[in-house]
Amino acid sequence: MRVTLVAVGLAVVLAACQTASYQRPVNSPYYIIPAGSHLNLTQALTFDPDQLSVYIQNGQVLSLSRVQVYFPFCKFELNHLSDAARTMKPDELVVTKTDQYRWEGAFSRTTPEAYEPKPRVMLTQFGGGDNPGGPPQYSFITRMDLRSEKQPEIFRLTCLRWAYPGMDEHVSIAEMRKALSPLFTLRTPTES
How far apart CA 53 and CA 14 sit, in angstroms, is: 46
Angle (CA) 19-23-25 rounded to 5° is 155
Global model pTM greater than 0.75:
no
Average pLDDT, the chain: 79
| Contacts with 81 (C-beta within 8 Å, 6 or more apart), sequence order | 50, 51, 52
173 in a structural domain: yes
Query: Which of 67-71, 72-76, 105-109 bottoms out in mean pLDDT, i.e. has the lowest?
Result: 105-109
What length is written for the chain?
192
Give me the percent of the chain exceeding a pLDDT of 70.
Answer: 71
Asked whether the predicted pLDDT for residue 120 surpasses 50, the reply is no
192 in a structural domain: no
How far apart CA 135 and CA 152 sit, in angstroms, is: 41
Residues spanned by the domain of 98: 2-187
Number of domains in the chain: 1
How far apart CA 80 and CA 155 sit, in angstroms, is: 9
Contact 178, 185 (CB under 8 A): no
How far apart CA 180 and CA 57 sit, in angstroms, is: 6
95 in a structural domain: yes
59 in a structural domain: yes
146 in a structural domain: yes
The confidence score (pLDDT) of residue 49 equals 97
Of 141, 191, 140, the C-alpha closest to 38 is: 191
15 in a structural domain: yes
26 in a structural domain: yes
How far apart CA 88 and CA 45 sit, in angstroms, is: 5
160 in a structural domain: yes
